[in-house]
Amino acid sequence: MGGTGSIADVISLPHEPLANPHAMRGIAKHPELKMAQSVTRDSRAESSGDADAELVLRPPSHPVDRRSVGWWLTQALVTVLPPVLILLLLALLIEPARTWLLLPAAIIGAPGLAYIVAMPPWRYRVHRWETTEDAVFTRAGWVRQQWRVAPMARIQTVDTIRGPLQQLFGLSTVVVTTASAAGPLRIDGLDHERARDLVEELADKAQVETGDAA
């Protein structure tokens, strides 16, 4: 059921905006990839029988833009490097306190390095998104991964955010809020135009829904 579902989704993709070449490339690559997965999954499910098959959330169909890796890498560098560099500089200048400056530099630097190396590609593999006629479905995170579903009818606002770093990479974040105080759904790292098209599409599908549930 799920396998065919994802094929159907891929086939129905043309309703989504294809104006932008990046998106084109992503989708063009997508069908074979997706179908191959679905086939293996189907055969697995059949061989083991439906009885002991467990429910899982399938990954949303679209990856985010490849440039996100660069964006996340820059983010990590901007977070980790300044304190480490300042400590190293001070260690170079103040000789008597050298060990006491190098020690915290190492304590921050070692996990920082792991963060810089591991986080961006990991995030890229996790972050995915999808919209259907009825819902928005996202997956995000790296060590802590989060799948979120919001029905189209419950969407209150759709916005794009472009931070300074994101602008450097030509990326946008789409923010989808519902009436819940638990925070919005975010799709990080979309190409500018793709994000703009997505916002238009969502605003269109979700209508001018206002008010809270019930």
Residue 126 engages other proteins in binding (rule: CB under 8 A): yes
Among 9, 2, 17, 7, which residue's Cα sits nearest to residue 174? 17
Nearest distance from C-beta of residue 113 to other proteins, angstroms: 17
State how far the alpha carbon of 4 is from the alpha carbons of 58, 59, 61, in Å: 12, 14, 13
- Residues of this chain, 89-118, that bind other proteins according to CB under 8 A: none
Which part of the chain contacts other proteins (CB under 8 A), choosing from 1-9, 70-78, 91-99, 186-194? 1-9
One of 137, 166, 190, 202 touching other proteins (CB under 8 A): 137
Give the CA angle between residues 61, 177, 175 to the nearest 5°: 55
Q: Report how far Cα 132 is from the mean position of its chain's Cα atoms.
A: 17
Closest to other proteins by CB, 21 or 151: 151
The count of other CB atoms within 10 Å of the CB of residue 156 is 17
Measured distance CA(104)–CA(114) in Å, rounded: 16
* Residue 143 binds other proteins, judged by CB under 8 A: yes
> How many residues in the shown chain lie near other proteins by CB under 8 A?
58
Nearer to other proteins, 75 or 132 (CB): 132
Complex with other proteins: residue 96 or 181, whichever CB lies closer: 181
For other proteins, the binding residues in 61-90 under the rule CB under 8 A are none
CB neighbour burial string for 105-130, b if at least 16 within 10 angstroms, e if fewer = beeebeebeebbeebbebbbebbbbb
Q: Is 204 in the site for other proteins (CB under 8 A)?
A: no
Contact 161, 173 (CB under 8 A): yes
Which residue of 95, 96, 164, 182 would you call a contact of other proteins, by CB under 8 A? 182
Structure tokens at 13: 């993709």
Strand, coil or helix: 159:
strand
Q: Which of residues 34-53 bind other proteins (CB under 8 A)?
A: 37, 41, 44-45, 47-50, 52-53
**Residues contributing to the site for other proteins (CB under 8 A):** 1-3, 5-6, 37, 41, 44-45, 47-50, 52-60, 122, 125-126, 130, 132, 134-135, 137, 139, 142-151, 154, 156-157, 177-183, 207-208, 210-214
